[in-house]
A = this chain, B = another copy of it.
Amino acid sequence: MAKLKNDRLIRALLRQPVDKTPVWIMRQAGRYLPEYRKTRERAGDFMTLCKTPELACEVTLQPLQRFPLDAAILFSDILTIPDAMGLGLSVIEKEGPKFARPVRTHAEIVNLSVPDPEVELRYVMDAIRIISRELDGKVPLIGFAGSPWTIGTYMVEGGSSKEFSLAKEMMYATPATMHLLLSKLADSITLYLNAQIAAGVNVVMIFDSWGGALSAQCYREFSLQYMQRIVAGIKPDASGNKIPVILFTKGGGLWVEQIAMSGCEAIGVDWTVDIGSVRSRTGNAVAIQGNLDTAVLYSTPQVIRQEVGKVLESYGKGNGHIFNLGHGIHPGIDPENVAVLVEAVHELSIKYH
């Protein structure tokens, strides 16, 4: 593996000194970029884009050609695992993901098998190998997976959901069935992330998009517990380097103390928390990634700089901050405003280091 020319992200994740706060953006390879929309059009549909390693590589690298970002993130989807389990995923624009064969019964879950990442998910590993070669150590490459609870909700609901009625019905009425599903997912995700590491990613992130829909107690039992199991199973890379893990529970601001105890190196936080208060609540035990409100990017360069400044000031002096939005960038945002954001982070953060 090529030595990293820009290791700001890794250093920040390990809470080591950096010259400037590293910055990357959730969904940085996405629909707000005209060049992404072109590649996607060429691919035909979203899943073909994910499943064609050369095209996944192309879109992964696009934002780096525009902005001096401190990381690349694999272009893929959190639902590749259930797709590989045979649920039949399709992603239709504006309708979101749909599974042809959702799982609703204990028997259906018993029958699910854990995918072999180098067989059913080989297209992801191939994409990572190509991206890693193309990046040639320019910046770190982040791999990722959805959390067991988050992926599980889609598998049970058959797609997106607002209330998670079916998934929560399973959780409350037949908890053993839900635990079996989450356990199989935790095993699958652990294998999947370790395969991503073997293929070349430098960091892994777990996206718990829907953990915030749970009660405090259910969050610990049905989401955090399984993420902890994954974190404990993450292996070093081929050279024996520890691979930092970022856990991000959207809407998890109430539980950051517990998330920080999961064994991860960093926690992602959404825009609803004050990042400085998260830092003091977690006692500098982990690095913190976040947390500008994405909607700030609808405003003006002047306001963007001011709001970037507030997040940096709230985190304060010292190590362990990775700048990001509080959730993924929206398709309607002007790429020029992203340039303003990245520049502002690098420029305004110098005085905190």
Contact = CB atoms under 8 A, between A and B. Distances in A.
Nearest to A172: B299
A168 B297 CA distance: 10
B215 A272 contact: yes
A309 interface: no
Contacts of A272: 212-216, 219, 251, 254
Given A272-B212, A272-B214, A303-B173, A295 B251 contact: no
A273 interface: yes
A291 to B, nearest CB: 8
A330 B298 contact: no
Contact of A273 (B169, B216, B330): B216
Contacts of A253: 254
A46 to B, nearest CB: 19
Interface in A109-165: 163-165
Nearest to A211: B272
B215 A169 contact: no
B299 A173 contact: yes
A213 B294 CA distance: 11
Given A163-B330, A217-B310, A293-B218, A168 B298 contact: yes
Nearest to A276: B216
A295 B165 contact: yes
Interface string A239-270: 00000000000010110000000000000000
A61 to B, nearest CB: 27
Interface in A286-309: 293-296, 298-300, 303, 307
Contacts of A326: 215
A284 to B, nearest CB: 20
B298 A173 contact: yes
Given A173-B298, A300-B173, A330-B163, A293 B168 contact: yes
Interface string A208-242: 00001111111100000000000000000000000
A344 to B, nearest CB: 14
Nearest to A302: B173
Interface string A309-337: 01000000000000000100010100000
A271 interface: yes
Q: When A and B form their complex, which 8 residue pairs have the shortest distance between CB atoms, in order from nearest?
A: A168-B295, A169-B298, A172-B299, A173-B299, A216-B274, A215-B271, A215-B293, A253-B254
Given A169-B295, A215-B272, 19 more contacts: A163-B294, A163-B330, A165-B295, A169-B299, A171-B295, A172-B307, A173-B298, A173-B299, A173-B303, A215-B271, A215-B274, A215-B326, A216-B272, A216-B277, A251-B251, A251-B272, A253-B254, A254-B254, A254-B272
